[in-house]
Amino acid sequence: MLILPFIHNTVTQNSIQVHTIKFLTIGGQHIWEEDKSLKLDEDILNSNDIYRKGPVIKFDKTLQICEVDMEKTRVADFYKWEEVEIGDTETFCWRMYIYLTGNNGDNWLDIPASEMLGKYSVKAIIDRILQKK
């Protein structure tokens, strides 16, 4: 099973919504993978001091996207993508994306289709998150 914890914040400036979305990745390029027999909250997230809020967003049969509870999770205890070495394939870190939309849903600043986390398009993941919220 692939697990992608995320944090999503939105602010409105004039008629533009600024979405800041952070994903907990491995080295900024890879998605966390665990045995599918484990329980998502008890065995994986909570045991790593990550607490989920809201329902899991199932992207496909493998990828589970989980919003992080900012009140319970100490996000500052994790690295930021800017703090890890290029090419790092072991360190968990938060990678941030900024996505701009107009009040009518038009995209003002889109994520390039070529931007990937593992085999998944970041744009497709963000679109799914925004659909579900």
Tokens representing 116 are 């990937």
Taking 80 as the threshold, does the pLDDT of residue 121 lie above it? yes
Q: Cα-flanking dihedrals φ and ψ of residue 130, to 5°?
A: -65, -35
Task: Name residue, tokens 């008890």.
Answer: 42
CB distance 40 to 3 below 8 Å = yes
Q: Cα-flanking dihedrals φ and ψ of residue 126, to 5°?
A: -65, -40
Pick from 59, 68, 61: nearest CA to 120: 59
Distance, in Å, from the CA atom of 9 to the CA atom of 113, rounded to the nearest integer, reads 22
**What percent of the chain has a predicted confidence (pLDDT) above 90?**
83
Taking 90 as the threshold, does the pLDDT of residue 8 lie above it? yes
Tokens representing 37 are 């027999």
Taking 90 as the threshold, does the pLDDT of residue 101 lie above it? no
Query: Domain count of the chain?
Result: 1
User: Domain of 97?
Assistant: 2-132
**pTM (2 d.p.):** 0.94
Looking at residue 118, its pLDDT comes to 95
Q: What residues does 7 pair with on adjacent strands?
A: 22
Looking at residue 104, its pLDDT comes to 74
